[in-house]
A = this chain, B = another copy of it.
């Protein structure tokens, strides 16, 4: 794990607030090589972000690329309710949207001497950032890879997020946003609600936890969901969810999503999971129809949404890696 660095900037947010913001990030490889940016996703930390897209195979080798891994606002490393000093700390942290993240990331890459990214790729909220980057800076990225993601957050996805937000916000230890100690009860409940969305009906039916080395679904759910979520700050969880809920590249094209997709200059590899309950593969199919240079590669899995983050089988992760490798290796025309 390389050292995590900090990039400071005065950022005028879309909500109107000027935030003394900072991005936490690390880089791998030689800055002279083609640059690849990878942002963190919902409840993803920098240390785990590489694996979240690439599994074991390392499709984006630091030997070939200059990799920039950057943290999402609200993600508990970059500016977040839990990390920002006063006067924007905790409940005082302003609303952040994808556009704010992308503007900050653009400044970061320029500070690193990168004028144009070779690729921008990400899982889930990371993929939504990829779409927003390609929309807001169309001349500054050649290829993007949204994995288990979408260019616009669907109404269904929005309402699922209302539910998990409501769970933690209603919790006893969230204390109506006045808490000063970790929100253990609320985050545990949040994790339990979230778990059934992140996985799939088929995951339970095929008893996929066995292959993953767990004695029961319950053991997996308690360790990986209830347990993991209690390590998060409750306000950060809400912060990221709000950013996600407002994800939508169509707002720059009068609400016309097809037009927004058609305006993307970058090549796009769209990789949905077949059993993802909120980033539906059917929506990805529609996206590819509108993209100028879109390629679809569906991950066949029972691991639902989190297959896109490398939680699926070795074979599934190899598939993700192989698809990304092929996508990066050749231009669109040669792959057709």
Contacts and interface: CB of A to CB of B under 8 A. Distances in A.
A280 B201 contact: yes
A220 to B, nearest CB: 10
Interface of A: 154-156, 159-160, 162-164, 166-167, 169-172, 174-176, 185-186, 188-189, 192-196, 199-201, 203-205, 217, 221, 277-278, 280
Nearest to A202: B156
Contacts of A205: 154-156
Contacts of A176: 172
A66 to B, nearest CB: 39
A156 B217 CA distance: 10
Given A154-B201, A162-B221, 16 more contacts: A154-B205, A155-B217, A156-B203, A163-B189, A163-B192, A163-B195, A166-B192, A166-B193, A167-B167, A167-B170, A167-B193, A170-B170, A170-B185, A171-B172, A172-B176, A193-B193
Given A172-B174, A175-B172, A280-B201, A163 B217 contact: no
B217 A189 contact: no
Contact of A170 (B154, B189, B217): B189
Nearest to A186: B170
Contacts of A280: 201
The majority secondary structure among interface residues of chain A is helix
Contacts of A195: 159, 163
A136 to B, nearest CB: 26
A174 B167 CA distance: 13
Contacts of A163: 167, 189, 192-196
Contact of A189 (B167, B192, B194, B201): B167
Q: Which of A155, A160, A188 has the most CB of B within 10 A?
A: A155
Contacts of A167: 163, 166-167, 170, 189, 193
Contacts of A160: 196
Given A166-B167, A171-B172, A192-B166, A159 B201 contact: no
Q: Which of A156, A163, A174, A200 has the most CB of B within 10 A?
A: A163
A188 B170 contact: yes
Contacts of A193: 163-164, 166-167, 193
A185 B170 CA distance: 6
Given A160-B196, A280-B201, A189 B166 contact: yes
